[in-house]
Amino acid sequence: MSGKNLDWVDELAQTIRSDVSIYQFVSPQNEDIERRRFEQEIREQLVPVEDDEVIEATQEVSLDEIRAEDLRNIDLPEPDFAYADGADYSSQIASLEEAREVVSRAEASETVKNVYLSTLDELEALIDIVENVGDRETVQQASQIIYGSPSEEALNWAEDTLESLDSETDEKKEFSAEDMRRSVEGALEEVGMSDWKVNYTQKGVVSVNGASREIRVPENRKYGENEILRLVIHEIGTHALRSANGYLHEFEILGSGAAEYHPTGEGLALFMEEATGLSDNNLKRKYAARALAAESLLQGDDFGETYTLMREKGLNHDQAWSISTRAHRAGGFVKDHIYAEGLQQVTQYAEKEGTIDDLLIGKISEKYAGELSDSELDSEYNPVDIARSLERHAPEGVDPSSINLEGLREYVES
């Protein structure tokens, strides 16, 4: 342990966040198969036909046509999801124990030490999830160490949102992955984040990995006009920007991700979507439903009960299946409430402080933001500059004038 300091702990945290690809392990490998089985069993229970007519007749029944109240009267099947084999992270667990001792001896404030120790707890919980996929108790407990659980305020917001906001017609998706990538690369170039790279991925969503300074763009999908603008604000103007600012400081754990940063990060991204006028009803309804699904899981509901709840809240079959799967995957990966939870946190913070500047100094939580910003931690990268980059780097056919820059400037020092 001789010679090891907080720089070593920073490097360890960055390595673990980069190497432990959590979604590789918690995502069901046989989701399509289990979805078809789920749908077929529902149809067979609700369509009164003879056995030799079942297959042909039930295939003609859309699950969107089945009333939510009818689902309460049948036995919904429990998907039997399969997952990738876990990996051996015993050496990383040993290193985390050593890191705790290094932190305890470090010459740093109690606030900084608490941030580091809580971050190390989260990293161990991350490994616990990977090593125990399918173990409901372990996965749910470990998830809550990292992501917390839904508050009453977040759940009330979710209920109100689903009750008061109607669905909108999805925008036409006519822009390519190359258009998306060029917009991202333009934003990075504009603000000087030259050490970040943009790579294609085969599936998933546009995402940021702060530990590896990488933005991933799904190659085989199309994007809508508003979606391109919104994702640049959400992913680059929030997640990548906070990470890049964090790496500028003495404590580089603020770059890879410090304790409890997840809800604040997602809440800040949604807050900036709202401030720039790029959010929409469908997004809000999705985040609201995710929070209620997470709470359903924590209340002990099985997959069918969560699915039925989603249908009762007005979601169609595709939406209810997707959100229920996200909540119950891996035995209960309790994460999806952080969007609603974080939005409440950040909104309250902005109303109290009149600014969100302190939340931009790194990947930290609003809980620690004020105390760490008092240590004269500054932000070099600014979300207003990211938004303005779209004036020059948005694809042809995308109108960046729809971005409400003044709404963002109200809370961010330019």
Domain boundaries, the chain: 149-409
Give the pLDDT score at 133: 96
Angstrom distance (rounded) from CA 281 to CA 168: 6
Helix then strand then coil, % of the chain, to nearest 5:
65, 5, 35
Give the pLDDT score at 164: 96
Q: Using N-to-C axis directions, what is the helix angle for 281-298 and 338-353, rounded to 10°?
A: 120
Give the pLDDT score at 58: 53
Collect the ranges in the chain with pLDDT lower than 70.
1-2, 48-60, 373-378, 414
Give the pLDDT score at 403: 96
Q: pTM for this structure?
A: 0.92
In the numeric block, which tokens belong to residue 317?
A: 């079959």
Give the pLDDT score at 171: 82
DSSP state letter for 329: G
Give the pLDDT score at 170: 79
Angstrom distance (rounded) from CA 154 to CA 150: 6
Give the pLDDT score at 376: 56
Q: How far is CA 128 from each of CA 11, 75, 82, 105, 332, rounded to the nearest angstrom?
A: 20, 32, 18, 26, 13
Give the pLDDT score at 87: 85
Angstrom distance (rounded) from CA 47 to CA 384: 55
Contacts of 51 (CB under 8 A, 6+ apart): none
pLDDT digits (tens, 9 = 90+) for 347-394: 999 999 999 999 999 999 998 887 776 555 667 899 999 999 999 999
